[in-house]
Structure 1
Amino acid sequence: MESNAMFQKQSLSATTSVVEGNASVASKGGEAEVGATPVRNSRSRYRTLLLLLFGTEGIVFLWLLPQDKVTLYRLRSALPFRSSPVVSSSQNPYLSAMKNDPKLGTLLLPTGIGTVVRRVAPKRVRYTLLGYVGNCASCLNVNLKAWQAEAKAHDIGLVLFTTAPPLVAQTFVKGQDLQVPIVCDIQGDLVKQLKALWPGRCYLFDSNWRLVWIDRSPGPQYDPFGDATFRAVLGK
């Protein structure tokens, strides 16, 4: 009897020990779970914040896009398809404005900003290509280095003009690794005279400073030397 009683006490003690051990393990697991919860919550909040940030940027971009005619037209030009071969004024927002382009044969006046252009332009060349680079923003989507090489090969002087101040203009030229003169049209007189509607638009003048060709293609990565109308003027 005493032996049975002792066995029951030992069994009870062992069972109690197992229960307490399991409780201890459960307690530690609970503490680990509680510790992991804030980490998961933090990551969730971080992801939510990123989604909100990107969503806000997307909304702002879509709101501003219709107001930026250059970017809008370039995006449309980059699409691999066209809804119609006919280019409408909605597809090219510059069509109506280009109706007021200066006429071929127009003389670059030897006054004001025109005098500056004439003075800095290369001498003893057949033609001078005058290129508008806007405010010298880094987003200018033309290869000016290629223009410079082609102009030299075709005995054409290349002059750039900008609405940026002189320091910004010179920094831009150096950053593009160009060896061409750049004229600062801060008041926008030349921009108005030539109807420089978009950065990258260019104009070809003969040796008497009469306009013989004007760029009418505002698409991205435009190269005048690959334009059939431009090459026709050069006799190429």
Structure 2
Amino acid sequence: MSVVISHVQKWTDPKLKWDIEKFNGVKQVVVPQSLIWVPKLFIYNSLDTKDMLTDNRYDLRVWHNGRVKINIPQFVTCICRLQIDMFPFDTQFCAIALASPLLNTEEMDVNATQPPPDSYFAGNAEWEVMNVTVRHMKFMEEGEYRAEIHYILHLHRRPIYYITVIVAPTFLISALSILGIFSPGSNDGPRSEKVSLGLGSLLALTVLLDIVAGAMPKSNSVPLLGI
């Protein structure tokens, strides 16, 4: 699964507090990322992760009470386990899994909450995002617990392409082949007409089978489209 995410991280750093009255009522400032410590999280089930901004273009917003916020837009390609028995009428669950590479839960714990109501999730021409849930987990590594967050995407495949390009033509050609057996021919050569019709249908089915083979996911089970 390839997704573009805009991941917002918020945390409190006690060392960044200041008194508003001593700084002319300034309640918040925007500073470069290089000046402030940022909690390190990485997507450990990704094949590839690309930051959509260079390091010198990331900024943070800091409030007088030590509250810090950063927005990290990324392009991520994740590994997902697919269930293709009902392909192309299938739904899939794919997760974006984040964890800290070093810090344990005593040093940095992650508060996992559901996406806010104003969050924006968009699919594409083939997939529709039905829902996004958040699961907070912990795993043991070398005698200490580390926080792990799963953003689970519930995806539904839009089957209209496969219906119009593969399913409907296959049914039409199959019906034409069956009707061709019982169709009356002319007195000159009924057998030759039926043979030509059968060969034409067989050629069309061969082309469709090539499209089906390229469209179906590679798996040990036979999906619904193959049946």
The TM-score with structure 2 as length reference comes to 0.22
More strand by share: 2
More helix by share: 1
| Greater radius of gyration (CA) | 1
The TM-score with structure 1 as length reference comes to 0.22
